[in-house]
Amino acid sequence: KQEVTQIPAALSVPEGENLVLNCSFTDSAIYNLQWFRQDPGKGLTSLLLIQSSQREQTSGRLNASLDKSSGRSTLYIAASQPGDSATYLCAVTRQAAGNKLTFGGGTRVLVKP
């Protein structure tokens, strides 16, 4: 059974510092890994999707890496801003479509002005 873990559970940094969020999964037979952002009481916004054959994906200040063989992904957020304060979730799936995502517990980020 796939288990996804995110460490740390919470993180507080001053504005401008780079953020490093970690995600690990126990079963390396994944199809893709997604990073989501969740604001309090809100839905899930997809940030980045990495296919199992890829090593990284970038979007603006966000960069996600994937080491499938070791069961790890890292989300980097450069030059953090107070607006980056949210919970960040990673999730993996085994198949291209119609298959469930297994989520980590999230990392709650606070960026202090």
Partner 1 sequence: EPEVTQTPSHQVTQMGQEVILRCVPISNHLYFYWYRQILGQKVEFLVSFYNNEISEKSEIFDDQFSVERPDGSNFTLKIRSTKLEDSAMYFCASSVPGQGGKLFFGSGTQLSVL
**With binding defined as CB under 8 A, does residue 43 bind partner 1?**
yes
According to CB under 8 A, which residues from 61 to 90 bind partner 1?
A: 89
**How far is residue 83's CA from residue 111's CA, in Å, rounded to a whole number?**
8
Cα 95 to Cα 21, 47, 99, 100, distances in angstroms: 24, 19, 6, 8
Let me know if 39 is exposed, middle or buried by CB neighbors in 10 A (0-12, 13-18, 19+): exposed
Least Cα distance to 11 among 91, 80, 92, 97 occurs for: 80
- Among 73, 80, 93, 107, which residue interacts with partner 1 (rule: CB under 8 A)? 93
Candidates 12-20, 60-68, 71-79, 98-106: pick the segment binding partner 1 (CB under 8 A). 98-106
User: Which residue, chain included where needed, has tokens 């980056």?
Assistant: 84
**With binding defined as CB under 8 A, does residue 32 bind partner 1?**
yes
Q: Smallest gap, in angstroms, from Cβ of residue 66 to partner 1?
A: 13
Q: Smallest gap, in angstroms, from Cβ of residue 49 to partner 1?
A: 5
Enumerate binding residues for partner 1 (CB under 8 A). Answer: 31-32, 34, 36, 41-46, 49, 51, 89, 91, 93, 95-106
